[in-house]
A = this chain, B = another copy of it.
């Protein structure tokens, strides 16, 4: 049985205060209801009666309860919910760590059934090795006929973790033992697990501006306060980062420094080294999300920030399945002890391990000689896509920095185009894109839009971007 305990963090009477206040708010007791007696509550919670008494005194001071006829404590009229305590009301009064409702706008936009889908930072399924993959899947079943009959271990398949440990060492300069890898169901789950173990309400989280909208949703639902740092073609303003870290002591800094989503920018090497120093100095965990590294057009990007870390202040999210088979939802998280132990415990609670089938399919395709050929072709195809989008957008008055990798154009609209009108009229013409404010921690970058050039097939892309340009010119 979990009991109230003086855990050194909060005086016990404050926990009792909290216990009562929250339940009044949730409608479990209503105005003028009699509350449990000091004696009864002390017995229930197995604590001293004076502790309960102190909590009631504070509630009285704060106008939440009143005393009547010396017979007991009652809920003060203004303090209680007026609504009937039905399920709906009880859900409304959820803790700060609850989920926002309705569901985030980004997923709504991406679910719009449009012909010209530029809101998905996914790769055109026709560019993925579908046919090859089904061969590999058959091979997986030949090798592991019982792959669907058993669970994976919580931390992930050993064979996959061993392979990835070697792969990361050779290709990304990351030194990590297999035990320092955890397989999660996509980067989304990894970010959520990290938020679960690191954040409590009112903690500060540092994020880039703009950034990945779904990460913002996760931090917000944990009740975190967001601090933002601009990302530009040159990287970050490190003095600003130092100042913010010093003043606010953020618990973590969520970054995507390589072919950044949505801007496509890449943070230079010298800044990567300095960031690690700042993280150590201000004890701020850097969460390095790195899904676009292999999707460069010309030169390979600099090594991950994780590779410069020696003290365990960087967590690395390698969700490279985006260009292999996004539907498999395979991400590898790398971090050091003791964080890894906490992450594994959180993963156990979350789903008891990523399905083994998905891990084995991924492993066998990823280790195949075909992959390098696929990747080289994919890079060229993505660059062609990018150039089609850029060509169609030329002359609209839009401004963007040509990305050197990744899946998106981050486009500033000319001043005369009202963003809401463009979004509405685009939708009428079956075109979807992501409005900039979704990527903005402050929710105000309305004159920017994210156009993903990776998902639509070449001809659809050309046609759709053409229509969008026409629309822009007409406004």
Contact = CB atoms under 8 A, between A and B. Distances in A.
Interface of A: 1-4, 8-11, 14-15, 17-19, 21-23, 25, 28, 44, 62, 85-88, 90-91, 93-95, 97-104, 107, 111, 122-123, 125-126, 128, 130-131, 133-134, 137-138, 141, 145-154, 184-186, 188-189, 192, 196-198, 200, 202, 214, 217-218, 220-221, 223-226, 247-249, 251, 283, 285, 312-313, 325-329, 338-339, 341-342, 344-346, 348-352, 355-358, 361, 441-442
Contacts of A283: 85-87, 90
Nearest to A223: B2
Given A28-B249, A130-B148, A349 B192 contact: yes
Contacts of A313: 87
A25 B8 contact: yes
Contacts of A225: 1-3
A449 B249 CA distance: 49
Given A91-B338, A101-B345, A221-B349, 19 more contacts: A9-B21, A9-B93, A22-B202, A85-B283, A87-B285, A87-B312, A88-B338, A94-B197, A97-B200, A99-B345, A100-B345, A125-B146, A148-B325, A148-B327, A149-B327, A152-B327, A185-B185, A217-B348, A327-B357
A363 to B, nearest CB: 14
A346 B99 contact: yes
Contacts of A339: 87, 91
A355 to B, nearest CB: 5
B150 A122 contact: yes
Contacts of A145: 130-131, 134
B111 A326 contact: no
Contact of A102 (B141, B224, B345): B345
Contact of A141 (B134, B147, B249): B134
Contact of A104 (B125, B348, B442): B348
Contacts of A88: 338
A131 B342 CA distance: 38
27 contacts: A1-B226, A8-B25, A9-B22, A19-B202, A22-B200, A87-B338, A88-B338, A90-B251, A99-B345, A100-B345, A101-B342, A107-B352, A122-B151, A130-B146, A131-B145, A149-B325, A151-B326, A151-B327, A151-B329, A186-B352, A189-B350, A192-B351, A214-B348, A217-B348, A217-B349, A328-B357, A357-B358
A279 to B, nearest CB: 10
Contacts of A95: 200
**Assembly of this chain: how many copies?**
2
Contact of A147 (B4, B11, B149, B327): B327
A350 B190 CA distance: 9
A77 to B, nearest CB: 14
Contacts of A85: 283
A445 B235 CA distance: 59
Counting from the closest, the 7 A-B pairs by CB-CB distance are A125-B149, A148-B325, A95-B200, A125-B146, A99-B345, A148-B327, A134-B141
A141 B137 contact: yes
Given A1-B226, A2-B220, A202-B19, A196 B344 contact: no
Contact of A188 (B100, B126, B184, B352): B352
Contacts of A90: 251, 283
A18 B18 CA distance: 11
B9 A154 contact: no
A25 B9 CA distance: 6
A315 to B, nearest CB: 11
A202 B15 CA distance: 9
**Which residue among A17, A87, A102, A125 has the maximum number of chain B CB atoms within 10 Å of its CB?**
A87
Given A15-B202, A220-B2, A355 B338 contact: no
A69 to B, nearest CB: 23
A186 B141 CA distance: 22
A363 B2 CA distance: 41
Contact of A214 (B197, B352, B441): B352
A220 to B, nearest CB: 6
A1 B441 contact: yes
